[in-house]
Structure 1
Amino acid sequence: MIHQWHHGGMNGWGYGLAVLLLIAVLAGVALLAVLVYHQAADRRPAGPRAGDPEASEQRPAPERLLAERYALGEIEDEEYRRRLAVLRHRE
């Protein structure tokens, strides 16, 4: 009678191939994740990011609009200062 050491299951080569297949699948998933991340990063707007010094120099939209109206002469000094104080108090 011939003794079967593997008892009908996988032998050493079977486990080795299973591990190699698992590593290959995980590497493929990681590569796909990196590619998707870079594609998404390319589609993001190229504006200033948080913590960027240029972002802190920009005024919020309401203050910018008020400054434009003042520059165009649509509102007087007193009204500009009053409205600016209201906007800054609100934030």
Structure 2
Amino acid sequence: MYWYDHDVSGWQYAWMGFGMILFWGLLIVGFALALRYLFRTDSERRPHPVPPGAEHVLAERFARGEIDAKEYADRLAVLRSATRQ
């Protein structure tokens, strides 16, 4: 009728306390991350723009008329030969 050796010892209390702290800590961190995800701003949602490459900048300068066709072709050849090496 009486069961012995099934009482909670000191170490079991320590593990229960540690488990409770871990449980509440994970719950609070999860709640904070969920709120951060839900209420983020538009700038955080958009991916950061990739800076244009050298050929793209060169093509823009040619399109604006800053350089002529010969200079564009020469610089483009230099850029493409540099990427092959």
Which interval holds the TM-score relative to the shorter structure?
A: 0.3 to 0.5
Higher relative contact order (CA 8 A, sep 6+): 2
TM-score by length of 1: 0.45
Output the TM-score relative to the length of structure 2.
0.46
